[in-house]
Every structure is written in structure tokens, then in C-alpha cells.
Structure 1
Amino acid sequence: MTRRLHFNAFLFGCGHHGAAWRHPESEVERLADISYYEDLARTAERGCLDAVFFADGHSVRDPAGGGVWFLEPLTALSAVARATEKVGLVATVSSTFYTPFHAARMLASLDHISGGRVGWNVVTSMFDAEARNHGLEAMPPHAERYERAEEFVDVALALWDSWEDGAIVADRRGLFADPDKVHAIDHRGKNFLVDGPLNVPRAPQGMPVLFQAGASEQGRALAVQRAEGIYAVAYDRESAHSYYWDVKERVRREGRDPVGVTIMPGLVTYVGSTMDEARRKKAELDALLPVEQSLRQLSTFVQQDCFEWNLDAPVPALPPLAEFTGPHGRYDTILRIIRKDEPTVRELLGTLAAGGGHATMIGTPESIADEIEDWFGSGAADGFNLMPPLYPHGLDDFVDQVIPVLQRRGSFRTAYETTTLREHLST
């Protein structure tokens, strides 16, 4: 079977650019309107994308600047499931703030509601402000969070398997379910005590598709043991290629088939009929950024005073990574952005505000399709988690302009051939 691309659309407020909500064409007034997300999901479905994906947060970080979460993902996706037919539905559920029974029950219910289209993005959460909304003074240490996450996932998997296929008999003479096919799990672990069975019968997919986004060593370990889809962060093809083959080899050593694990780096795109038009779209959003706040953040990242830098001049020379004494991750990404794109200071601020360290492709439908196929063909990605800088227009541009190019080239499906999310990812 010919290998083909996979795409998820990451639904996030007015878009993934920090100033998206301020753009005159944003739909900021609709963020609490479920029809807004239904429309976005229908657009994704029109493009035959594998899934739409909701992240989640448990605290309000910046009310003035738009750092507010809207609509709990599983609740929202229950409505989206009724407004769509084929596109997958991936929800973030935190293993730190939920219990396995609660999560397994909600996700299995949504899989029934959607006819087998659900995925679970497993996260451990990260901010102390979130912890204090759940009875904790601070987030548990990183190692403890991942230890809990591993047990959490194991319990959820056992609960989904507590009903065998064909357990429901529905014999009106007196037998609803075959007792021999419904099992307690009797879990007694360090973090959880769960008798089971789940009080939702076996879901259409058996269990939701597991996604995970782990860059740390423990995150990668959890991903290679359990995940069927992995969200990755890579600004350029070189870093994406390194991550891709490291994870695929770990999956192989775990005794799993690497082909069955779909790796999808985040992708920010600005699509125009010409390169100048695409750059103009980025510039319009970049111009809406609060400059002082953005420069203060950049100064923290590079450990220099950036306030004297000329916004419309190239970024001044920065020390190499080996000489940098601060946190290396974000600084390495900034060096990669400068090396790849040669941006002005203003353009760098905009790139960091739209997806941070995720890949950014600016150009025509054909040039962006070329870049996507280059990553795909060189073994840097199985597909991408789309992060449009401005909703709904950025998703419309990708679906209506880039997807047809990839379809004509045979790199992406022209119609859904399957019904469940797991099947979408395998074709």
C-alpha cells in the first residue's frame, strides 16, 4: 500500500498566533459558540483530514492578552461529533487531574456517540496555577507525574477491555449481558484503586486511539510504549528527522511495529497566491503583537536586552548554542529559526508567537506542498498537526488550496475510505 500523509487540525481559539484574536477577520466573538467549532470541524472533514484536536488548560493565565480557555474538550466534541460524520475527534485529558475511571468512561461514551472516531491526547499538565485549581499547592515533580500517567493509562486500557466483544446479548427473555464476558479489573496500584468493570460497554474502536506529545526522556518512553499517534515539535527538517528516527527505533525495540505509530510535528502555514501575499498575511498578524511584551519575552529566551534592537532589521548575531548558559531548548529553536529564515526582529517575534518552535511554512500552495512532501519523503514526519495562525481563514486556506495539490500528486486521500479514527491513521 502506498504511504500517504496524515493531518490533524489543532483547534485553538482564534488561531495559534498570539495576536490572532485581535485580527479584524478573527471570530473572537464566537469562542463560546459551539457552532464555531462545528464549522471548523466540518472544514477539516471537507479536506478529509484525519482528525481535529483540542488541547486543554486548567487555569486562566492572561485575561487581558487572551490566555483564557474556552469549552471543555470532551463536552465540545460531543456536539462536534453530531455535526460531522467521518473526521476523528481527539481530546486532551490530564492524567494529573482526572481519575482513570472518569476519563475512561467519558472517552468511551464519546467513542459510542461518534461511531468510533475518538482519540485521547495523554498529558500530565505542567503549571502550578492549574494544580491549585485541583487541590494541590504545586504540580508534582516531573518523574511522579509520568509515573502516575503510566499507571493511569494502564488502568484505562484495562477498563476498556473489561467488556469483551459481543458481551451484550440483549435477550429480552432475561439476559442483557453475558457475565462471562464482563470482568472486574481489581487494580491495586501506587496511585489508583479501581475495581471495574467500566460501566460503559465496549466502544466501537475497542478503545480510543492514544496520542501523546512527549519530548522529555520520560515523555518519549510513555509515547513509545502506548501511543499510536505522537505530536512532535520540530522547527526544521533536520531536528524533525532526528526525533522521528529516534522514536521509531525506540518503538521497534519495544516490540511494536513502527509503522503503526504516526508521528505528526506541529505545522504553522501562511498560504498566498504569491510568496509576497503569504508574507503579507504573516506581517498583518505580527503587527498586532504587543511589542514591549514580546521583546521582554525574547530577552528572557536569549538572555540579552533586546529592547534596543531595530524591529525591521535582521536579528543581531547571537552566541552559538555551546556558549549559551541559559535553557538550551528554546534558544536552540531561535537559532534554527534565524538560520533557516533569516528574519527581521519583528518577523522572529511573530514566528515565536505563532506556534513557538513548530515548523513554519510560508508560500504558495505548491511551495508549501513541496516542503510537506520533502519532510514526508525524507523520513522526518508521517504527517502534521496543523496549527493555523488565524482561524477560520488559515484552515480554509490549507484545506482549499494546499490539500488539492497534495491530492493531485497522490500524497493524500481524496475521500475517506474508512470510518474510525484508528482506520484513518492506518490508510
Structure 2
Amino acid sequence: MHLAAHFPGVNNTTVWSDPRSGSQIDFDSFVHLARTAERGKFDFFFLAEGLRLREMKGRIHDLDVAGRPESLTVLSALSAVTTRLGLAATVNSTFNEPYEVARRLATLDHLSGGRAAWNVVTSYDAFTGENFRRGGYLDEADRYNRAREFLHTARELWDSWAPRDLVADPAAGEFARAGAGTFAHRGTQFDIAGRFTVPRGPQGHPVIIQAGDSDEGREFAAADADVIFSRHGRLDDGRAFYKDVKSRLAKYGRRSDELKILPAVTYVLGDTEQDAAERAAEIRRAQVTPRNALVFLEGFWGRDLSGYDPDGPLPDVEPDLGEGVSKGRAQFRGDRGEVVRTWRALAAERGLSIRELVIEATGRQTFIGTPRSVAGQIDEFVQSDAADGFVFVPHLTPGGLDDLVEHVVPLLQEKGVFRADYTGPTLRDHLGIGGPRAPKETP
């Protein structure tokens, strides 16, 4: 199986009130979590990224992470204090340009000795676009068109340099250098030509990650990704997603093992099953504070609900389905009216308060139990073809993976289902996916 670590970003996962909760900005926090993941022989360390601070009723929500340093810069620094751990960053394809992104990722691949990965994402809203000259120009329907061409253009740039083994003798080397970096791309989204400044990295191409769950997103992953992040942390949902995505690979000439499916998951350990369950309940209540519960509900109701008791019943007012009060939160898109109707039915059926409903609706805890039972649950998920592994999202920064690495990983190694040590230097080696597509011939 494959394991990865996620450093929480803009989220409602972090338990800020825990005395062990540290900085999400200081470099020492990144170092601690990355080194913990590497000690556990994880495949990679992942940083998400938001391009604008999210707002609620025109104000920054103070339980969000604010002030997060830029991801590729952080990973470049981490490449100097780790030796084998893959380093993955979200980089937006809507508000960036292929040349610059390809250059930064190739640089990270060189600095890290072949450990770079790129989570290709798109942006849907003009709110984020206000931070950029183009604003919100891109229609939502065109997001994947741009992302697909963006990725293909970046690959052309990486392939514009010959692999190192093709320039072994001096004569061939001089010839290759004469044409190195030459590129020309003519497409509907990009029309660029010139010379690419960074030689081909140790991996050829950085590992490509994708996180879309729509039909279009799944197709994009099947065609172009090496890893897909999944939100399906339940066994039956995971099996269905796994089967669907893997079945799409053959049309692109790819084998099932060339795309790794990794759901985002959490864990809670206890000395007994009851102890773990009690801890899990405490963590959920700490994540969904009374204020957080109201803020979350306001996103779907589209109106100010500050006058309601979070421990009381759901608001009796109808939702405002207009522009809403939240900006920058993808979960508040879609049919909010349908969500409200579903929640009202659930609250009525189970007698849930506002806070209890939000805890139920946003529950992310996946593996709960003793170290041995959690190791068994993780293994069952993978052996049942519901995932190829997991991206663990801790609720504490920076020590949230310490217990997992110390108590659960050794049991997975004991079972023989997770590596005892790294077997190669690159992230592609860790994932077992081999090299990228063959590069173009150098002129």
C-alpha cells in the first residue's frame, strides 16, 4: 500500500484548542511533519494551497489558516532536510502559466533528487480571480479544457530537453545541447514558443496528482494522472469509485497499476475500542465548535444565523439561494436548497441540534480503534480494492502523525503490506509507476 501525509491547509480539520496545536506557518512545523512521514517510510508529503483567503459575511473566518507560505517554496526548503520523502504541491492551472509552473516543478525535482509532484487543480470563481489580472474570465465549463492543455504544455516543456542517457558521448552531447529546451506550442489556451531553461529532471516529469470527483475529473485522472485523491473514505463508496476510475484506464492504453487511488482519511487511536471512540467524539466536538457550526450552516442557508442557538433546532427560516454569504468555499456551491431539505429531514428524524447535525454532516473520521484494529481496517480497505493507500490528514499540527508512525505503521510492516524501507530514490520508485511517457526526439 501507499501512504502519504497531508499538512492541513484551509480547513475545519485542525483542533486549535488543543494545547499541542502549533504553528501552521513556522518552518519547524513543516519539518516536524515531513520528517515524521519520512521516518514512517511514507510515499510523499502534500501541501494544499488556496489563492485567496476565504470570507464569511465579508470577513475572514478566524478559524481558517491565514498567512500560509507558498507551497513550492516550502517544499524546496524541505528538500534539504529530507532524503527520500516525495514532495507534492497543489498548483492552480487556472491562474498560472505553463512555462513558469513547469520551471518551478523541474527545479524542485532537481533540488530533491527526483521527488517532486504536482497536484493539478482548477479554480471556478471570480472571487479568487480578483487577485489576478484576468479576474474571473474563465467559464467553469472551460476549466478542465485549460487544465488538460496546461498539463500537456508543461510536458512538452519538460520533454524539450533530452534525457541524460541520450547525451552520453561528447558529439551527441554537443548536438543535444544545441537544440535543448526548444519548444513551440500552438493551442486554444496557450500559444508559446522559445527555449525552456531547466534540463530534464531526475524523474523526467514530476508525478501528476488530480483530485476531481466529477465524471470529467475522473476522466482527466484516467488519461493524465499518476495519483488521484479521493474523498471516498467508506468501504463501499471506495470500492465503487475504485472500480469506476480503474475501468477508464484501458482506453488510454494504461494498466490498472499506473494510477494510484488514495482517499483522504483520518485516524484516532485508543488503548481500547471504547477509549478510541470516546476520543473520536471529543475531537469531532472540538473541530465543530458552536461558532463553527453556525458558520457552516450560514454557508448553506445563505444568510446570517448568528442569533440562533447552536445547541438548538435548525433555523425555521428558508434559505436565501442568491449569492450567499460565503466566498471561496467550494462546498457551498451546487443545490443548496436540496442540501437544506435533506438536513432538515435528518435533523427531524434523529432529533439533532444545529451543532449535532454539522458534526454528522461533516464527519471525516475514518479509522478509529486500537493500533492493531486500525492497522487491520487500513489493510482491509486496500485488500478489498477500495484504495491503493491513503493520504492521512491529522487534526493536530505538527505532531498529528506521531502516533500513527509509532504504533500503526510497524504493524502494517509486520503484516508485510507496507514497505520496511525505501527501495529507490524517486517518488516514482515509491509509487511503483515507472517513468513518464517517452520524450520527444531532440531535433
Interval containing the TM-score (normalised by the shorter chain): 0.7 to 0.9
- Structure 2 residue aligned with 1:12: 8
Aligned letter for 1:40? L
Q: 1:149 aligns with which of 147, 160, 163?
A: 147
Aligned letter for 2:246? K
Q: 2:404 aligns with which of 369, 393, 398?
A: 398
Determine if the alignment matches structure 1 residue 362 to structure 2 residue 332. Answer: no
Q: 2: CA distance between counterparts of 1:204 and 1:108?
A: 9
Are the equivalent residues in 1 in contact too, given 2:290–2:310 (CA < 8 A)?
A: no
Question: CA 1:100–1:292 in structure 2 vs 1: closer, same or farther (change >3 Å)?
Answer: same
Aligned letter for 1:161? D
- Structure 1 residue aligned with 2:290: 291
Question: CA 1:231–1:330 in structure 2 vs 1: closer, same or farther (change >3 Å)?
Answer: farther
- Structure 2 residue aligned with 1:317: none
Are the equivalent residues in 2 in contact too, given 1:273–1:364 (CA < 8 A)?
A: yes
Question: CA 1:74–1:296 in structure 2 vs 1: closer, same or farther (change >3 Å)?
Answer: closer
Q: 2:18 aligns with which of 10, 16, 23?
A: 23
Question: CA 1:206–1:419 in structure 2 vs 1: closer, same or farther (change >3 Å)?
Answer: same
- Structure 1 residue aligned with 2:324: none
Determine if the alignment matches structure 1 residue 385 to structure 2 residue 391. Answer: yes
Are the equivalent residues in 2 in contact too, given 1:333–1:357 (CA < 8 A)?
A: no
Q: 1: CA distance between counterparts of 2:431 and 2:212?
A: 19
Question: CA 1:274–1:65 in structure 2 vs 1: closer, same or farther (change >3 Å)?
Answer: same
Aligned letter for 1:42? R
Aligned letter for 1:382? D
Aligned letter for 1:25? R
Question: CA 1:253–1:391 in structure 2 vs 1: closer, same or farther (change >3 Å)?
Answer: same
Report deviation, 1:69.
Answer: 4.7
Q: 1:409 aligns with which of 387, 411, 415?
A: 415
Q: 2: CA distance between counterparts of 1:163 and 1:150?
A: 21
SS where residue 10 of structure 1 aligns?
Answer: strand
Q: Superposed, which structure 2 residues align to 1:331-350 within 5 Å?
A: 349-350=358-359
Q: 2: CA distance between counterparts of 1:296 and 1:391?
A: 23
Aligned letter for 2:20? E
Q: 2: CA distance between counterparts of 1:161 and 1:55?
A: 27
- Structure 1 residue aligned with 2:321: none
The farther-off stretch of 131-140 and 363-372 is 131-140
Deviations along 1:268-321, one digit per CA (max 9) or x if unpaired, are: 111222233323433443236431441453476599x9967868x9xxxxxxxx
Are the equivalent residues in 1 in contact too, given 2:17–2:286 (CA < 8 A)?
A: no
Deviations along 1:24-61, one digit per CA (max 9) or x if unpaired, are: 11003xx3221210111000000000000011111112
Are the equivalent residues in 2 in contact too, given 1:169–1:176 (CA < 8 A)?
A: no
Q: 2: CA distance between counterparts of 1:34 and 1:132?
A: 29
Question: CA 1:334–1:238 in structure 2 vs 1: closer, same or farther (change >3 Å)?
Answer: farther
Determine if the alignment matches structure 1 residue 36 to structure 2 residue 38. Answer: no
Question: CA 1:350–1:68 in structure 2 vs 1: closer, same or farther (change >3 Å)?
Answer: farther
CA-atom RMSD, angstroms? Answer: 3.5
Q: 2: CA distance between counterparts of 1:351 and 1:114?
A: 41
SS where residue 211 of structure 1 aligns?
Answer: strand
Structure 2: gaps spanning 5 or more residues: 55-59, 314-334, 434-443
Question: CA 1:326–1:65 in structure 2 vs 1: closer, same or farther (change >3 Å)?
Answer: closer
Q: Superposed, which structure 2 residues align to 1:190-229 within 5 Å?
A: 190-229=188-227
- Structure 2 residue aligned with 1:319: none
Number of aligned positions between the proteins = 403
Q: 1: CA distance between counterparts of 2:210 and 2:392?
A: 16
Are the equivalent residues in 1 in contact too, given 2:239–2:387 (CA < 8 A)?
A: yes
Q: 2: CA distance between counterparts of 1:329 and 1:227?
A: 31
Deviations along 1:240-283, one digit per CA (max 9) or x if unpaired, are: 11111110001122221111100001101112222333234334
Aligned letter for 2:413? Q
Aligned letter for 1:53? F
Are the equivalent residues in 1 in contact too, given 2:45–2:88 (CA < 8 A)?
A: yes
Are the equivalent residues in 2 in contact too, given 1:120–1:210 (CA < 8 A)?
A: yes
The farther-off stretch of 224-233 and 65-74 is 65-74
Are the equivalent residues in 1 in contact too, given 2:242–2:261 (CA < 8 A)?
A: yes
- Structure 2 residue aligned with 1:52: 45
Are the equivalent residues in 1 in contact too, given 2:228–2:261 (CA < 8 A)?
A: yes
Q: Superposed, which structure 2 residues align to 1:311-322 within 5 Å?
A: none
Are the equivalent residues in 2 in contact too, given 1:56–1:69 (CA < 8 A)?
A: no
Q: 1: CA distance between counterparts of 2:266 and 2:98?
A: 33
Percent identical residues: 37
Q: 1:94 aligns with which of 82, 89, 92?
A: 92
Q: 2: CA distance between counterparts of 1:93 and 1:87?
A: 19
Aligned letter for 1:34? F
SS where residue 148 of structure 1 aligns?
Answer: helix
Q: 2: CA distance between counterparts of 1:118 and 1:287?
A: 34
Determine if the alignment matches structure 1 residue 426 to structure 2 residue 422. Answer: no
Determine if the alignment matches structure 1 residue 231 to structure 2 residue 224. Answer: no
Q: 1: CA distance between counterparts of 2:137 and 2:337?
A: 20
Are the equivalent residues in 1 in contact too, given 2:293–2:310 (CA < 8 A)?
A: no
Q: 2: CA distance between counterparts of 1:138 and 1:105?
A: 25
Are the equivalent residues in 2 in contact too, given 1:116–1:419 (CA < 8 A)?
A: yes
- Structure 1 residue aligned with 2:127: 129
Q: 2: CA distance between counterparts of 1:288 and 1:12?
A: 13
Question: CA 1:358–1:63 in structure 2 vs 1: closer, same or farther (change >3 Å)?
Answer: closer
